Chains A and B, each alone.
Chain A
Amino acid sequence: MIEVKGLYKEFRDKGNIVKALKNINITIEKGDIFGIIGLSGAGKSTLVRCINRLEEPTKGKVLIKGQDVMDLNASQLRELRKKIGMIFQHFNLLNSRSVAENISYPLEISKVPKEEREKRIDELLKLVELEDKKNSYPSQLSGGQKQRVGIARALANHPDVLLCDEATSALDPKTTQSILKLLKKINEKLGLTIVIITHEMEVIKQICNKVAVMENGEIVESGMVSKVFAHPKNEITKNFVKNIGHDIPEELFKELGFKKLVRLNFEGSGASNPILSKMIKKYDIDANILFGGIDHLQNNLVGNLIVELKGKEEEIEKAICFLKENEVECEVISL
Chain B
Amino acid sequence: MIFENPIGALLLFLRETGNTFYMVFVSTLIAIIIGMPIGIILVITEKGGIKENLKLNKVLGTIVNIGRSFPFAILIIALMPFTRLIIGTSIGTTATIVPLSIAAAPFVARVIESSIKEVDKGIIEAAIAMGSTPWEIIIKVLIPEAMSSIILGITLTIINLIGYSAMAGLVGGGGLGNIAIQYGYYRYDFSLMIVTIILLIILVQLIQWIGNSIAKKMNKK
Contacts and interface: CB of A to CB of B under 8 A. Distances in A.
A280 interface: no
A79 B131 contact: yes
A111 B120 CA distance: 25
Contacts of A84: 129
B68 to A, nearest CB: 29
A92 B126 contact: yes
Given A94-B144, A137-B220, A81 B123 contact: no
Interface string B183-221: 000000000000000000000000000000000001011
A54 B220 contact: no
Interface in B110-132: 120, 122-123, 125-132
Contacts of B131: 77-82, 106, 109-110
Interface residues of A, number: 27
A88 B126 contact: yes
Contacts of A138: 220
B79 interface: no
Interface stretch (B19-27, B133-141, B163-171): B133-141
A105 interface: yes
Residue picked from B123, B130, B140, most chain A C-beta under 10 Å: B130
Could you tell me the dominant secondary structure of chain B's interface residues?
Answer: helix
A95 interface: yes
Contact of B132 (A52, A95, A109): A109
A37 interface: no
B159 interface: no
A299 interface: no
Contact of B220 (A86, A139, A153): A139
A172 B115 CA distance: 33
| Residue of A78, A81, A94, A153 most packed against chain B (CB within 10 A) | A94
Interface string A125-139: 000000000000111
A139 B221 contact: yes
- 9 smallest CB-CB distances across A and B, nearest first, come from A81-B131, A92-B126, A82-B131, A78-B131, A92-B122, A96-B144, A86-B129, A137-B220, A106-B130
Given A93-B123, A96-B220, A106-B131, 18 more contacts: A78-B131, A78-B132, A81-B128, A81-B129, A81-B130, A84-B129, A86-B126, A92-B120, A92-B122, A93-B126, A94-B141, A95-B220, A95-B221, A96-B145, A97-B220, A105-B140, A109-B131, A153-B130
Interface of B: 120, 122-123, 125-133, 136, 140-141, 144-145, 147, 218, 220-221
